Amino acid sequence: MNTHRNEKIFRLRFGTPFRTPAVVIDQWNSTEAFTQNNIIEIEETDNQIRLELALRNEQIVLGLGEQLGALNKRGRRYRAWCVDEPHHNPDKDALYSSHPVLFISGEPCIGLFIDYPSEMDFDIGFTQHDRIRITIPSGSADIYLWQADSLRESSREYLRLTGSSYVPPRWAFGYHQSRWSYPNDASVRAIVDKFEEHGIPLDTIHVDIDYMDGYRVFTIDEKRFPNVKKLAGDLLEKGVRLVSIIDPGVKIDPDYSVYREGIADKHFCTDDDGHPYRLAVWPGWTHLPNFLSSKTRTWWSSHVKRLTERGFAGVWNDMNEPAMFFTDHSLKRIEDAVVKLEDKDGLQPWDIFNLRWACEDIQNYRENFKTMSQHTDAGELVNHWDVHNLYGYGMTMATSQAFEDDKQRRFIFSRSSYSGMHRISGLWTGDNSSRWEHLILQMRMIQNLNLCGFLFCGADVGGFNDHVSPELLVRWTQLGALTPFFRNHSAAGTRDQEPWQFGETILSAVREAIRIRYALMPYIYSEFLKAANKGIPLIRPLAYQYEQPALSEFEDQYFIGDSLMAAPVHQPNARGRYVYLPEERWLMLRMKRWDDYQTEILPAGHHYVKADLNEMLLFIPENRLLILTEPGNSTDSVSGRYVVLGLVAEETELELWEDDGFQRSIRREDCNISRFHVEPSGRRVEGHSKNREVCFNILEPGRK
């Protein structure tokens, strides 16, 4: 073991770890010995590293980014393993991404990041309620450890280690409409027209896999979409952008140039015989690009670039865990099991169970991942299993590379990711379902994802699998309006869930929730820029915001930036909810529309607050200011007056950051800064917005 220290963070290097792109600090000068302080026990045996930590009752464990379970990860077992998992049920232990970092509360707080891109086991108080036990089934890994005074500091250290957030263009903060699939040019136009007709703001429409010619990545089916450039241009005139999905599997087809290039230049992952690895996904039999190779990434990026030159404004990376529907290997397993049926008299129960299991896990069969290899730039051949969790990150690096030389920020988001990918892309949480349980799951995930640096994240609003109910669509849209990435998306075969599908009452409630999002846009965007700039989360658990671990109990409430606490209604038939207010006094807004709301001053403590189906709740702590503006049809057309809201007892200020929505730099000095002051002698606006129409709507009871 080799120990190096960088200010607060210690690196423990075991063996010869695979170099991942997760960490940005590369100076581990000091060789000062790491003192274990009896906080962590590390046991190294043959090909296994095991870490153990004791947990006291009051300690909580945050982190792990995109994972199931509660906000506080205690009491469960998790697996670091990127997997195409379409059923986000409570018994699952892994989803599409791997973010192997933990933030443990206490004095001091402990932070822990295991830079190891393959399967690991996180037993967080499951086997023994008072112990964390992490098992790395390898002799090689980099382990980073730090101590901090608070969870806030601890997350801050991690973001110092892995870098600060990707910033999408401003339009990506608007509302996105998607579905699998809007099948052609006419249907896309019709959807956009409907938004216009119903007065619902819209920034983006997504096209799913059916825009391609036979699912061949980087092609466009000219019969369905004869002129994407024209379509994109026409939409842009209405302030709407077009985003396309891309999948990593390249169809095996000698008449397809991307396939031929891939073969000629050896861009594909290989099997045990050194031939391109064969697996089936949507196009049928395909090969997978080897994104560990910089040459392959450059090749891929040139195709991404061409796609965007044809009119797409952003890229949606799917299936990059990578997903495998079946392989020769997993088919063989079924064939072998079927052969047993021939001897009916000799059949044993296990023969039948084996057949069932072979069919059940034909998709993403674990053993497949051990039979694929990838070579590195250094010419080393690596078993895919050992670097599995980096696949989506590699594809996203290649995507991001396409835009490296652009002056503008570009919109990229991915399904699979590994720690560190938050520097180059956003993320969505994949195939959830239209279930009430998935609202709370979404809230837990966006909080932990933000602590892990993935500021731009969100879940499919309305739910992907299953049929949405009208009430669920409303409540989910109200929640989505208070998450960074706000996209309605649903699976083929499920009922339509655009805002107007369920009659006037639902349409109106959904429309007003989306408009409230646009009213909040300057605030949300500004808080995002500030958070990315400082290297801190945008979405913050109460336990983080107030540095009180016990507040992790209230996992269905969270902060967006400093002035706004979300507490969405997430239960069926509910016409209100319980909310816990940690600070002395709060201003609550019960909003029917962005400009039609009741205000109420609430003291600290527990409250049951009413919220009809068409009402959203916003909470502003005392002495903090929130800004609203008149919503436009898209983020391009938001330019009305500002309304400043707050409950103020002492001098208070809000700094608002703005830019052109595209510029690369998010340094404060490159942004347009406005300062809104509220003080006894009056109200003041300084800086960029000083000549703008600003209306102060301030309550000042009991000003000191």
Min dist CB 431 to ligand MIG, Å, is 5
What residue is closest to ligand MIG based on CB?
180
Question: How many whole angstroms separate alpha carbon 77 and alpha carbon 75?
Answer: 7
Least distance from ligand MIG to the Cβ atom of residue 96, Å: 8
Catalytic residue among 153, 203, 431, 556: 431
Cis link prior to 108 (omega < 30° from 0)? Answer: yes
Could you say which of 119, 321, 466, 556 is catalytic? 321
Which C-beta is closer to ligand MIG: that of 49 or that of 362?
A: 362
Least CB distance from residue 365 to ligand MIG, whole Å? 16
Element (H, E) at 498: none
CB proximity list for 346: less than 8 A, separation 6 or greater: none
Q: Within 13 Å of residue 503, how many CA atoms lie on the same side as its CB?
A: 4
Least distance in Å: CB of 666 to ligand MIG? 29
The sign one gets for the Cα dihedral 80, 81, 82, 86 is negative
| Binding stretches for ligand MIG (CB under 6 A) | 180, 208-209, 245, 318-319, 415, 430-431, 489
β-strand partners of 643 = 628, 695
319 vs 694, which CB is nearer to ligand MIG? 319
Buried b (16+ CB within 10 A) or exposed e, 586-625: bbbbbbbbbeebeeeeeeeeebebebebbbbbbbbbbbbb
H or E element: which one contains 440? Answer: helix 437-451
C-beta neighbour count of 393 within 10 angstroms: 28
Based on its alpha-carbon atoms, the radius of gyration of the chain, rounded to whole angstroms, reads 26
Q: How far is CA 186 from CA 177, 193, 201, 226, 227, in A?
A: 15, 10, 20, 10, 11
Of 462 and 632, which has the nearer Cβ to ligand MIG? 462
For residues 140 and 187, which CB has a smaller minimum distance to ligand MIG in the complex?
A: 187
User: Based on CB atoms, which residue is closest to ligand MIG, 318 or 386?
Assistant: 318
Contact partners, residue 230, CB within 8 Å, separation at least 6: 311
When the beta carbons of 156 and 415 are compared against ligand MIG, the nearer one is: 415
Residue 208 vs 498, nearer CB to ligand MIG: 208
Least distance in angstroms from the C-beta of 341 to ligand MIG = 30
Place of tokens 């002051």: 677
Give me the least distance between CB of 460 and ligand MIG, in Å please: 7
Which of 84, 115, 318, 615 is flagged as catalytic?
A: 318
Asked about 595 being catalytic, the answer comes back as no
Which pairing describes strands 279-281 and 284-287: parallel, antiparallel, or unpaired? antiparallel
Taking the CA of residue 476 as centre, how many other CA atoms within 13 Å lie in the half-sphere pointing to its CB? 32
Nearest distance in Å: CB 163, ligand MIG: 26
For residues 461 and 488, is the Cβ–Cβ distance under 8 A? Answer: yes
The beta strands (E) that lie in 15-95 are given as 40-45, 48-54, 61-63, 76-80
Please report how close the Cβ of residue 240 comes to ligand MIG at its closest, in angstroms.
19
Between 6 and 181, CB nearer to ligand MIG: 181
Q: How far apart are CA 321 and CA 81, in angstroms?
A: 9
Q: Least distance to ligand MIG from the beta carbon of 371, Å?
A: 22
Our CB check for ligand MIG shows the closer of 239 and 322 to be 322
328 membership: H or E segment, kind and range? helix 328-339
**d(C-alpha 93, C-alpha 77), whole Å:** 7
Whole-angstrom Cα distance, residue 381 to residue 402? Answer: 26
Task: State yes or no: is 318 an active-site residue.
Answer: yes
Which residues are annotated as catalytic?
318, 321, 431
